[in-house]
Amino acid sequence: MTGFTFIRMLTGTTLLSVAAAVAHAAADPAYKADIESWRAKVEKSLRSDNGWLTLAGRHELSSGTNTVGSFRDNQIALAPGLAPERLGTIEVDADKDKVTLRLASGVEMFNARNDPIGFSERTLGTAVDRRDWVYRGRLSFHVIKRDKGKYILRVSDLENDVRKNFAGRIWYDVDPGMRVPAKFVPYKGKLIDIVNVLGESSREPVAGYLEFRLHGRTQRLDALADPGEPLFVIFSDRTGESTTYPPGRFLQVALPKDGKTVIDFNKAYNPPCAFSAFTTCPLPPPQNVLKTGIAAGEKFRGH
């Protein structure tokens, strides 16, 4: 990504010192408690209202007016009991990048502050940092903008059976040996293809690669990043054949200092697609498909 400069690669002596520091930290009982606390937080987030387990629909909106409701002749037909037969309309004006909700007469919804939305039109924000959830009883939804001018209505049901029946995330035991020092080597203006589960491809800026030793071999992973945000890694490994989510897992890595950072595979976690059929997750690029097994982090109940 822009803004990164080339960073000096680690010497063998530096790597040894980082490894010693990592081993010392991992031996601390507080380390296991920290991992367990983090895992509890991601479990709570998954189970929350409007979390991935509540998703009950994903509908691509057409340009112009889209009718919404539970009656089957609506362009966006929601499940019976989840919405009135005629909820209203959602109008998409791609030229103005504007999405407008208009509720049918007698239908009331609420915003995130629990303020009522009247019968007049309401513009729905679609940017990542200002998506507008609107609510009506067990129903909630918001609109997201995807590449190539697509607008997607994402629908949630607080009483979704997936949420009610979810048995919980499952994890490998915390393994200090899966917290490894790494060196970060930045790219300059490099783009890579990221393909999602629908086969859609996008060109994404890649910050650089992480190099580390695991199972007696040197491994590399490409990492994405936004300015000021942790490095983001999409990877898969041989455990996908038996215990982990086959398409791959996600991992956040602290921003490097002087070309050094630490990868903690105990915090590898499943993408939303492992929990919901109504999500579109990115897949690991070919260079992030490891030939070794990473028996750490989150497992998958679907096997």
Q: Which element (helix H / strand E) includes 110?
A: strand 109-110
Q: Are 205 and 262 found together in one domain?
A: yes
Lowest mean pLDDT, pick from 8-12, 136-140, 187-191, 259-263: 8-12
Q: Which domain covers residue 280, as residue numbers?
A: 12-49+168-288
Query: Whole-angstrom Cα distance, residue 83 to residue 70?
Result: 6
Q: Are 137 and 185 found together in one domain?
A: no
DSSP state at residue 297: S
Domain end, chosen from 157, 192, 216, is at 157
Residue 265, in any domain of the structure: yes
Residue 296, in any domain of the structure: no
Q: Are 32 and 179 found together in one domain?
A: yes
Residue 243, in any domain of the structure: yes
Q: What is the CATH number of the domain that holds 102?
A: 2.60.200.20
Q: Are 191 and 279 found together in one domain?
A: yes
The mean pLDDT of 145-159, rounded to a whole number, is: 91
Residue 298, in any domain of the structure: no
Helix then strand count (H, E) for the chain reads: 3, 19
Mean model confidence pLDDT for the chain: 89
Q: Are 72 and 136 found together in one domain?
A: yes
Q: Which element (helix H / strand E) includes 180?
A: strand 179-186
Q: Are 67 and 44 found together in one domain?
A: no
Distant-in-sequence, close-in-space partners of 234: CB < 8 Å, separation ≥ 6: 194, 224, 248, 249, 250, 271, 282, 283, 284, 285, 288
- What total number of domains does the chain contain? 2
Residue 176, in any domain of the structure: yes
pLDDT attached to residue 128: 67
Q: Are 212 and 225 found together in one domain?
A: yes
pLDDT attached to residue 215: 92
Residues 6-49: tens digit of each pLDDT: 222 223 333 444 444 454 444 588 999 999 999 999 999 999 99
Domain end, chosen from 128, 157, 186, is at 157
Q: Are 175 and 252 found together in one domain?
A: yes
Q: Are 35 and 122 found together in one domain?
A: no
Please give the distance of CA 262 from its chain centroid, rounded to a whole number: 21
Domain end, chosen from 109, 124, 157, is at 157
Q: Are 178 and 262 found together in one domain?
A: yes
Q: Are 42 and 58 found together in one domain?
A: no
Alpha helices in 134-287 (DSSP H): 161-164
> Which residues, in sequence order, are bridge partners of residue 248?
none
Q: Are 20 and 42 found together in one domain?
A: yes
Query: What share of the chain in percent tops pLDDT 70?
Result: 89
Residue 274, in any domain of the structure: yes
For residues 198 and 34, the model is more confident at: 34
